[in-house]
Amino acid sequence: MAQYFLTENGYKKLKEEIDRLDRYLKNDIAKEIATAAAHGDLKENGEYHAAKEKQQLTAAKLRQLQERFSGANVVRKDELLPVESVTFGKRIKIRDTKTGNERVCTILGEGETDPENGVIAYNSPLASALIGHTKGETVDVRLPVGTKTFQILEVEFAEGYQD
């Protein structure tokens, strides 16, 4: 079974999403199917087929989340050592050595990502290359757009891990 690393908050949100999807599948979609089936001939009943397709897609998403939940490994602050190293659960500031552009990233679990707000997965190419390095180091990172070199400017605990 695959392991998925999450913060305590990410674990809680994942559980809530599983519960929400389960209720939606058992209540709302089940009602939609029953209502559509009551309209008669199922062979040419578009409403029924749409509801069944929604049921299948929701069930697949639910199974995927349940798999992640069963393999969840909650990472706590005392496991994010050494403090000065880039690890899961850290907020980092990096500079592209070629362009001078700076970027702030928070490294969290797969289900906790929000790339538009700088939250990336620990197994993303950028995070994978930076993990284990410390402030001041320069790291070559293979990205889909090519290799870039970043200097690590800051390393601190992510929000939710601070004392």
Convert the pLDDT of each residue in 137-160 to its tens digit.
999 999 988 999 999 999 999 876
CATH of the domain at 123: 3.10.50.30
pTM assigned to the model = 0.75
Residue 163 lies in a domain: no
Of 48, 74, 100, which residue sits at a domain end? 74
Q: For residue 162, name the pLDDT band (cuts at 50, 70, 90).
A: low
Q: For residue 76, name the pLDDT band (cuts at 50, 70, 90).
A: confident
Q: Are residues 85 and 146 in the same domain?
A: yes
Q: Is the peptide bond before 82 cis (omega within 30 degrees of 0)?
A: yes
Q: Are residues 68 and 86 in the same domain?
A: no
pLDDT higher than 70, residue 51? yes
Q: Are residues 142 and 99 in the same domain?
A: yes
Counted domains in the chain: 2
Q: Are residues 89 and 66 in the same domain?
A: no
Cβ-based neighbours of 146, under 8 Å, separated by 6 or more: none
Q: Are residues 97 and 144 in the same domain?
A: yes
Q: Are residues 150 and 89 in the same domain?
A: yes
Of 58, 74, 90, which residue sits at a domain end? 74
Q: What is the pLDDT of residue 122?
A: 93
CATH of the domain at 40: 1.10.287.180
CB contact at 8 A, 97 and 150: yes
Of 74, 105, 134, which residue sits at a domain end? 74
Residue with tokens 């980092």: 92
**DSSP label at residue 27:** I
Pairing of strands 138-143, 119-121: unpaired
Q: Are residues 92 and 141 in the same domain?
A: yes
Q: Which structural domain, as residue segments, surrounds residue 23?
A: 4-74
